Amino acid sequence: MALSNPTRLISAPWVLPMAGPALADAAVVVDGADTIVAVGPRAEIKSAFPALPEERAQGALLPGLVNAHTHVELSVLAGRLRGGEGLVSWATQVGRETAAFSAEQRFDAARRAALAAVAAGTAAVGDVGNTLLAIPALAEAGLVGVFFHELLGSREAVTGDALAGAEREYREFVESSPWPARLARVPAPHALYSAGPDLLRRIFAAAAGTGHPTSIHIAEGEDEIQLLRDGSGRWAEILALLQVPAGSRTPGLGPLAYLESLGAFAGERPPLLVHMVCASAEDIALAHKHRAPVVLCPRSNLHIGGRLPDLRAFLSAGLALALGSDSLGSSPDLSLWGEMAALASHFPDIAPEIWLRAATVGGAAALGLAALGALVPGKRPGIMDVTPIDTQAPCASLVAAATPSVRWVARP
Ligand SMILES: [Zn+2]
Report the CATH number that the domain containing residue 17 is assigned in CATH.
2.30.40.10
| 19, 134: one domain | no
Query: Ligand 1 centroid vs 325 CA: distance in angstroms?
Result: 8
69 Cα to the center of ligand 1, angstroms? 6
Shared domain for 133 and 229, answered yes or no, is: yes
Q: Tell me: the pLDDT tens digits for 165-186? A: 999 999 999 888 877 778 999 9
Given 350, 367, 384, which residue is the final one in a domain?
Answer: 367
Helices and strands in the chain: count of H runs, count of E runs: 17, 15
Looking at the fold, whether 151 and 208 belong to one and the same domain comes out as yes
For residues 139 and 246, membership in a common domain is answered with yes
Question: Ligand 1: distance of its center to the CA of 252 in Å?
Answer: 24
> For residue 200, which phi and psi values (nearest 5 degrees)?
-60, -45
Q: Which residues pair with 63 in a beta bridge?
A: 383
Cβ-based neighbours of 84, under 8 Å, separated by 6 or more:
303, 304, 305, 306
How remote is the CA of residue 328 from the centroid of ligand 1, in Å? 10
Specify whether the backbone of 247 is left (phi greater than 0), alpha (psi in -120 to 50) or beta: left
Would 22 be classed as within a structural domain? yes
Ligand 1 center to 162 CA (angstroms): 20
Domain match, 265 and 387 both: no
Ligand 1 centroid from CA 224, angstroms: 15
Q: Measured in angstroms, how far is the CA atom of residue 71 from the centroid of ligand 1?
A: 6
- Residue 395 CA to ligand 1 center (angstroms) comes to 27
- Cα gap 46→278, rounded to integer Å: 51
Instruction: Decide if pLDDT at 286 tops 60.
Output: yes
- Are both 25 and 105 inside the same structural domain? no
Instruction: Write the DSSP assignment of 65-80 as a string of letters.
Output: EEEEEE-GGGGGGTTT
- Give distance in angstroms: CA of 296 to centre of ligand 1: 10
Calpha distance 359→379 (Å, rounded): 17
Both 123 and 260 in one domain: the answer is yes
Ligand 1 centroid to Cα of residue 410, in Å, is: 29
- Whichever domain contains 114, its CATH number is 3.20.20.140
Give the burial class of 79: count Cβ atoms within 10 A of its Cβ; 0-12 exposed, 13-18 middle, 19 or more buried: exposed
Dist. CA 6 → ligand 1 center (Å)? 40
pLDDT of residue 297: 98
The yes-or-no verdict on residue 240 having pLDDT over 80 is yes
Ligand 1 centroid to Cα of residue 77, in Å, is 13
- In the reported structure, the alpha carbon of residue 70 is separated from the centroid of ligand 1 by a whole-number distance in angstroms of 6
Q: Is the pLDDT of residue 265 over 80?
A: yes
Ligand 1 centroid distance, CA of 229 (Å)? 22
Asked if the model's pLDDT at residue 65 lies above 70, the reply is yes
162 has pLDDT over 60: yes
Question: How many angstroms separate the CA atoms of 60 and 39, rounded?
Answer: 13
Question: What are the backbone angles phi and psi of residue 62, rounded to the nearest 5°?
Answer: -135, 155
| Model pLDDT, residue 3 | 52
The dihedral region occupied by 183, where left means phi > 0, alpha psi between -120 and 50, and beta the remainder, is: beta
CA of 90 to the centre of ligand 1 (A): 12
Q: List pLDDT tens digits, range 26-56.
A: 999 999 999 999 999 999 999 999 999 999 9
Cα of 364 vs centre of ligand 1, distance in Å, is 18
Residue positions counted in the chain: 412
Distance from the first to the final alpha carbon of the chain: 19
pLDDT in tens, 320-374: 999 999 999 999 999 999 999 999 999 999 999 999 999 999 999 999 999 999 9
Query: From the CA of 49, how far away is ligand 1's center (Å)?
Result: 45
Dump pLDDT digits (tens) for 71-106: 999 999 998 888 888 888 888 888 888 889 999 999
pLDDT at position 1 is 46
- CB of 381 closer than 8 Å to CB of 28: no
Query: How far away, in angstroms, is 374 Cα from ligand 1 center?
Result: 25
Q: How many CB atoms lie within 10 A of CB 111?
A: 19
Domain containing residue 23: 6-63+374-410
33 CA → ligand 1 middle, Å: 33
Could you tell me if 324 and 338 lie in one domain?
Answer: yes
Cα of 257 to ligand 1 centre, how many Å? 21
Query: Rounded to the nearest whole angstrom, what is the distance from the C-alpha of residue 381 to the centroid of ligand 1?
Result: 24
Distance of CA 152 to the CA centre of its chain: 20
Report CA(165)–ligand 1 centroid distance (Å): 22
Mean pLDDT of the chain: 95
1, part of any domain = no
CB burial of residue 172 (10 Å; 0-12, 13-18, 19+): exposed
CA torsion angle 223 225 226 228 (round to 10): 120
At residue 394, the 3 state secondary structure works out as helix
* Cα 256 to middle of ligand 1, angstroms: 18
Are residues 25 and 122 located together in one domain of the fold? no
Q: How many whole angstroms separate alpha carbon 398 and alpha carbon 396?
A: 6
Share of the chain above pLDDT 90, in %: 87
Residue 166 Cα to ligand 1 midpoint, Å, equals 19
For residue 81, is it within any domain? Answer: yes
Q: Same domain for 230 and 95?
A: yes
Residue 127 Cα to ligand 1 midpoint, Å, equals 9
- String of DSSP letters for 210-265: SSS--EEEES-SHHHHHHHHHS-SHHHHHHHHTTPPTTTT--SS-HHHHHHHTTTT
In a domain, 336, yes or no: yes
Contact 379, 391 (CB under 8 A): no
- Whether residues 233 and 154 share a domain: the answer is yes
- Centre of ligand 1 to C-alpha 190, Å, is 8
Q: Is 17 exposed, middle or buried (0-12, 13-18, 19+ CB in 10 A)?
A: buried
Number of domains in the chain: 2
Residue 327 lies in a domain: yes
> Is 111 within a domain?
yes
Question: Do 320 and 221 share a structural domain?
Answer: yes
CB neighbourhood size of 284 (10 A): 22
- How many Å lie between the centroid of ligand 1 and the Cα of residue 20? 30
Mean local confidence (pLDDT), 2-20: 90
Neighbours of ion ligand 1 (CB under 5 A): 326
Ligand 1 centroid to residue 275 C-alpha, Å? 8
